Amino acid sequence: MTRAFLIVMDSVGIGGAPDAASFFNDGEPDTGANTVGHIATECAAGRAEAGRSGPLKVPHLDALGLGAAVTLASGLCPPGLGAPPRGLWGAASEVSKGKDTPSGHWELAGVPVPWDWHYFPEVENSFPPDLVDFVAAQAGTAGILGNCHAPGTAIIERLGEEHMRSGWPICYTSADSVFQIAAHEETFGLARLLQLCRDIAPRLHAMKVGRVIARPFVGRPGNFVRTPNRRDFAIEPPAPTLLDWAYDAGRTTHAIGKIGDIFSHRGISALHKGKNDADLMGHLLRLADEAGEGSLTFANFVEFDSLYGHRRDVSGYARALEWFDAQAGRFLARLRPGDLAIFTADHGNDPSWHGTDHTRERVPVLGHGVGLRSVGQVAYSDVGASVAAHLGLRASGPGHSFLQEQD
Ligand SMILES: O=P(O)(O)O[C@H]1O[C@H](CO)[C@@H](O)[C@H]1O
Ligand SMILES: [Mn+2]
Ligand SMILES: [Mn+2]
């Protein structure tokens, strides 16, 4: 028996999604968005110099085939990347209709989303009155604040003071299928915020809203800051996923970071959470040493997306990639013969693009442990099927293993 590590670099897209024209940011189609490609281009042009310098340096991921995958997906040769691949490499396309985190992760885990998500309109009162009344009643308040599309940091700056005064929860949404509630950890209370999200989630899930998200913050007017106590209450995946296939076969499944929340805590033996990606990397490095034979470790590294992609911060995203790459080198050095590690992503979030939302892109599929293998253009669900094949698990769903031919 061997082990498998599936590592999602949240939002690290590589351009070229066949259906990018059907997805938008600020009314502009995502056609041409390319997270890694554009970051590499900006770095090489000297336009990503905050806290780092020069061409993008990601030698470990590039040696697996990152640069080659960008070129395969989008036709762009990313400056500074493109070493001859030594790992398994390819580019995956998504069929689910959302460019959001649950859609991407479920499909990577073998289960495309069969339904249309509900999105709230970008108008002054985004939420229907009966939902507003319901949320206020559950919160025990006479109303809610927000009720609009907004970036989370901007809305707490704008409404945080009023929230502290009135006690009303700040409810907002985005281009994702989400209902988010920001509330002050001390004046509103963290436990109360989490309970409120838990209480309203079933009603939102019944509407096919993917997630209710608690966004706690602290501080005083003028310097509010969000805390790491964010919690996502996600709708359940529509069918058994890779995690269920493994768990139901008696294997140990380790979920690092947001994976537990994204899969509604189904099929998970052990949760490994942290306050930032550095903590999560600590868990991944430890599990490279300690995870048992036959186990699955499924990790999500969220900061590419949450700290840099949505904030359209190219330098920050480049720094995060360079840090992650160095850690990936340490991680790979700890693996044992027979282990499979796959690095991939759930969607794009090109920090050089219009708007502040995710971008529809292909994602890299970079594998270590099976030698040099070009798998070409694959489907997201093939990733889950391949991990299952490696672990000797019975898979369901539409995916096909890209390992099988030579196994
Ligand atoms: O602006 P913040 O609150 O970080 O919101 C971002 O995080 C949410 C979930 O990923 C999405 O809705 C996205 O817009
Ligand atoms: Mn994501
Ligand atoms: Mn995001």
| CATH (domain of 225) | 3.30.70.1250
What is the mean pLDDT of the segment spanning 214-226? 98
Of 145, 307, 136, the closest CA to residue 230 belongs to: 307
What is the pLDDT, as a whole number, of residue 136? 98
Tell me: is residue 347 an annotated ligand-binding position: yes
Ligand 1, closest atom to CA 100? 10
Ligand nearest to the CA of 311: 1
For the cut 70, the answer to whether the pLDDT of residue 1 exceeds it is no
ipTM field: 0.95
| One domain for residues 230 and 264 | no
Mean pLDDT, rounded, for 263-272: 97
The pLDDT of residue 407 is 44
* CB 259 within 8 Å of CB 299: yes
Mark which of 182, 208, 234 sits at the end of a domain.
234
pLDDT at 175 over 90: no
Q: How many domains does the chain have?
A: 2
Are residues 343 and 243 both part of a single domain?
A: yes
More confident residue, 175 or 189: 189
C-beta 174 within 6 A of ligand 1: yes
Residues 291 and 364 in one domain: yes
> 153 and 60 share a domain?
no
298 and 379 share one domain: yes
257 and 229 belong to one structural domain: no
pLDDT at 406 over 60: no
Q: Is residue 174 located within the same domain as residue 152?
A: yes
Clarify whether residues 265 and 353 are in a common domain. yes
Is there a single domain that holds both residue 19 and residue 101?
yes
Is residue 178 situated within a structural domain? Answer: yes
In tens, the pLDDT along 62-91 reads: 999 999 999 999 999 999 999 999 999 999
For residue 232, give the ligand 1 atom closest to its CA: 9
Q: Is residue 170 part of a domain?
A: yes
Cα 21 to ligand 2 centre (Å):
20
Rounded CA separation 390/339 (Å) = 9
Ligand nearest to the CA of 176: 1
Same domain (yes/no): 326, 180: no
The CATH number covering residue 332 comes to 3.40.720.10
Domain-embedded: residue 292? yes
> In the prediction, which pLDDT does 405 show?
58
Mutate to test the pocket of ligand 1, among 157, 235, 306 (most ligand atoms within 8 A of CB): 306
Q: Which residues contact 336 (CB under 8 A, 6 or more apart)?
A: 3
pLDDT confidence band for 296 (50 / 70 / 90) = very high
Ligand 1 atom closest to the CA of 101, numbered from 1: 10
User: Does a structural domain hold residue 357?
Assistant: yes
The whole domain housing 328 covers 4-113+238-391
pLDDT at 249 over 70: yes
Q: Given pLDDT bands bounded at 50, 70 and 90, which one contains residue 116?
A: very high
Q: The whole model's pTM is what?
A: 0.94
Please tell me whether residues 219 and 174 are part of one structural domain.
yes
Residue 322 has pLDDT above 70, yes or no: yes
Q: Are residues 320 and 372 in the same domain?
A: yes
More confident residue, 1 or 396: 396
Is the confidence at residue 292, as pLDDT, over 70?
yes
